[in-house]
Amino acid sequence: GQTEAAQALLRAGASLDAVDVAADGCLHALARCDAEHAPRAAEALSCLLALERGAWQRASGAGAAPLAQRANRRGETPLVAFAAARMTACCELLLEADGRPDEEREADAFHALRGAASQGHLPTVRSLLAHGAHPARSIGGEGTAIHAAATGGHVDVLHVLLDWVRRDDSDRASRDDASLEVRPRRAGSLQDALRTTDAEWKSALLCAAASGSALACETLLAAGADIEQKNGTGDTALLVAVMHGNAHAAQARATRPAPRRGPSTP
């Protein structure tokens, strides 16, 4: 019924460009729909996008940026809002219709992937990965999607993200071997991702320690995270866990030996 009501309002002259005080537009509002109407959200989104395309054609493509690319005052695009709301089908509709340059599209997908990982919503995470979002990417000190999953203690999501990076490492290594060129040994992107820090100099392991997820800590250690890496104030993961009152996470690291590391790289 909501889709039909929206169509009636638009026929009567309502503007698709309308926003509220937070600069949330039609698509942001759709991401906030209640659980009763969420199953039909993708249908409503498809309808709104089609109506917008028709309006643009009538106006010869002139006007503001497409609805799907407009951020609210919090800097969230509709894709980020749908990812945070666990609306996988809506995310896929926007991703498939996105015609922006790679850099802009990938930045939007990065923020969406972080949001989905922080919510622990595996279907949306898998969909965003399939559409090119990179779990080891970090923008503006926000940390990676791996940080977000570690902070939330979402171990199933953490495994998927780490496995994706491992496969990417393997694929790149195969391409390097096939080229028959001699290249200096370098750390793989998985090790880079595990060492990456956010604006507070926290690695994913330090985030897991602060949140108190022993399983997330063990998962990251098994992947090769540095147990002695420090944050900006010189604290290791063990100290962070103790300071945050997370005894279980602290015990997970105190009783587990540091993972064996390979040869150092220049």
Provide the residue type at 144 as one letter. Answer: T
More confident position, 204 or 41: 204
- pLDDT of the residue at 263: 37
* Angle, alpha carbons 39-72-25 (nearest 5°): 50
Q: What proportion of the chain, given as a percentage, has pLDDT over 70?
A: 81
Average pLDDT of the residues in 176-203: 70
| Residue 220 pLDDT > 80 | yes
Instruction: With beta carbons less than 8 A apart as the criterion, state whether 26 and 2 touch.
Output: no
- pLDDT of the residue at 265: 34
- pLDDT of the residue at 222: 95
Mean pLDDT across the chain: 82
Q: What proportion of the chain, given as a percentage, has pLDDT over 90?
A: 47
| Residue 266 pLDDT > 70 | no
- pTM, full prediction: 0.80
Assigned token pair, 2: 């909501």
Confidence of residue 9 (pLDDT cuts 50, 70, 90): confident
CA 105/CA 178 separation, integer angstroms: 30
Total Cβ atoms within 10 A of residue 246? 20
Handedness of CA 74, 80, 82, 85 (dihedral sign): negative
- pLDDT of the residue at 262: 39
Instruction: With beta carbons less than 8 A apart as the criterion, state whether 175 and 166 touch.
Output: no
Rounded-to-10 torsion of CA 12, 15, 21, 27: 110
Confidence of residue 258 (pLDDT cuts 50, 70, 90): very low
Instruction: With beta carbons less than 8 A apart as the criterion, state whether 81 and 39 touch.
Output: no
Confidence of residue 122 (pLDDT cuts 50, 70, 90): very high
CA 229/CA 75 separation, integer angstroms: 31
Confidence of residue 55 (pLDDT cuts 50, 70, 90): low
CA 150/CA 74 separation, integer angstroms: 23
More confident position, 174 or 81: 81
Q: What own/partner pairs with CB < 8 Å and gap ≥ 24 does 33-36 have?
A: 33/2
